[in-house]
Amino acid sequence: MLEPSPTDEVDDLVLLGRHPNPQRLRKLLHTAVDTALDHLEGAETPSSSARPLLPHTPPTPEEALESFGREWLGQAVWYHHPRYLAHLNCPVSALGVAADIMATIANTAVESFDQAGVAAEAEVNVLRTLGQLVGWNDASGTFTSGGSQSNLQALAIVRQASPRKDILITANTHYSVSRAAALFGLRTHLVPTDAFGRMDPQAARELIATLEDSPAAIIATAGTTDRGSIDDLEALADLAEDHRAHLHVDAAYGGALLCNAETSGALRGIERAASVTLDMHKGFFQPVPCSALVVPDPQTLAAIRINASYLNPAESERPNLADNSLQTTRRFDAAKIFLSLSTYGAEAIGSAFARCMSHAGAIAEAIERHPTLELYETPQLSTVIFRPRGVSSDELEQLKMSLFDAGDAVVATTTVAEERWLKFTILDPYLTLDEVSPVLDRIAALANTKELSYL
């Protein structure tokens, strides 16, 4: 019964490094890379009106890749496309993709030294480097699946480290913070914001005065998802210090400002945080997932540490990264940013992000000059919030979907100051105004002629 089947079909199901015909496997993987790149390079539109992916009758692996490529990638949403302007998805570093392919082939799981070896050391090193960008000498932390999980872990630490339960957020704090607070039985309090959407430190102080106890944490944001608002981190650090509260800075979006001396001043005070969320799969141009929670004091992570005797025994002298993570089995995501940082340096990443910001500024100016479009505000980071004049919320949604279905452009909608707006998020350093102007004109034309197909 345990006789291995001699047929090719079963061999193909199995297993890198165990295949009797390594050349064939190699070709299959090259085919996968070529197919993906063919579709990426050939993408004429950023989106299409998608049809569902259906199961196949059993084909050969080569045919399966070809039809999977056609049916999935042939109608994928492409973030590198100049008319993909919607969310915080970026075109990705080729070196990051290469590192990710290698990490996938090795299938490295980083949670214990006896599974990870040098990969664990690499993650420790990258976290220290990321900490240096924040302003810390000997930082620690963990890679996570994204900013949401980084925030979740920050609040887990807050919950375990102190019996206090109140945390301060604003209406612009990322929703993952509210969800994590609810999971951990923490009470959120909404601090009013100023005209730029930033937490008002004086209002925070007044709110604290109404609480029975000092807050457990203040959650600051360095780059809110919609407006890119950066809280006054110095003032909030003062407040946290006065109340011995944990200052967590969610820099999932704005963290890339730290890469460059010219832009890092905007985040002054971040070095006084007790924990920081950084998303390298946004402004650092790495493939998803690549995020980290970084802390200045390695002891911070001990609040939620559990030692399993088979995995990360307390007496181990080698890095077992399960010590620091909410996950057990975990990818070697540090590989991507490790290679980019060590090859190109943080400055290059920071300059690319700064170019995205200046593109957003130029697009905003074009909107201001446009006769029928209305700009919400001068961009604070790299989002542009605007709309055609005289269009209802429902019509904005229809407009967005008809742009998507036609492959004209992918744009987002959001609510700011209780009104619906369109949103561009610019994360392509190579974008030009010439590429975006036709999208603005198309939006204006659609709104103007009420060409919205199915109104």
Whole-number minimum distance, CB 252 to ligand PLP, in Å?
4
The first and second tokens of residue 248, run together, are: 């967590």
Q: Map tokens 């036709």 to a residue.
A: 438
Task: Return the DSSP state at 244.
Answer: T
CB of 175 vs ligand PLP, minimal distance in Å: 8
Kindly tell me which of 151 and 382 has the beta carbon lying closer to ligand PLP.
Answer: 151
Q: How far is the CB of 441 from ligand PLP (least distance, A)?
A: 29
Cβ contacts of 12 within 8 Å, gap of 6 or more: 19, 28, 61
Please state the closest distance from residue 289 (CB atom) to ligand PLP, in A. 7
Q: Write out the residues near ligand PLP by the rule CB under 6 A.
A: 88, 146-148, 151, 174, 176, 221, 223-225, 250, 252-253, 279, 291
Which of 25, 219 has the CB closer to ligand PLP? Answer: 219
Q: Which is nearer to ligand PLP, 140 or 291 (CB)?
A: 291
Round to the nearest angstrom and report the end-to-end CA distance of the chain.
63
Q: Compare residues 225 and 402 and give the one whose CB is closer to ligand PLP.
A: 225
Beta bridge partners of 251: 278
Sequence-distant (≥ 6) Cβ neighbours of residue 124 within 8 angstroms = 140, 319, 321
Q: How far is the CB of 90 from ligand PLP (least distance, A)?
A: 11
Output 115 or 150, the one with its CB closest to ligand PLP: 150
DSSP H helices in 135-246: 147-161, 175-183, 201-209, 233-242
Buried residues in 408-427 as b, exposed as e (16+ CB within 10 A):
bbbbbbbebeeebbbbbbbb
Q: What is the DSSP string of 31-90?
A: HHHHHHHHHHHH--SS---PPPP-PPP---HHHHHHHHHHHTGGG---TTSTTB-SSS--
Q: Is the dihedral of CA 5, 8, 9, 11 positive or negative?
A: positive
312 vs 425 by CB, closer to ligand PLP: 425
Q: Would you say 289 or 350 has its CB closer to ligand PLP? A: 289
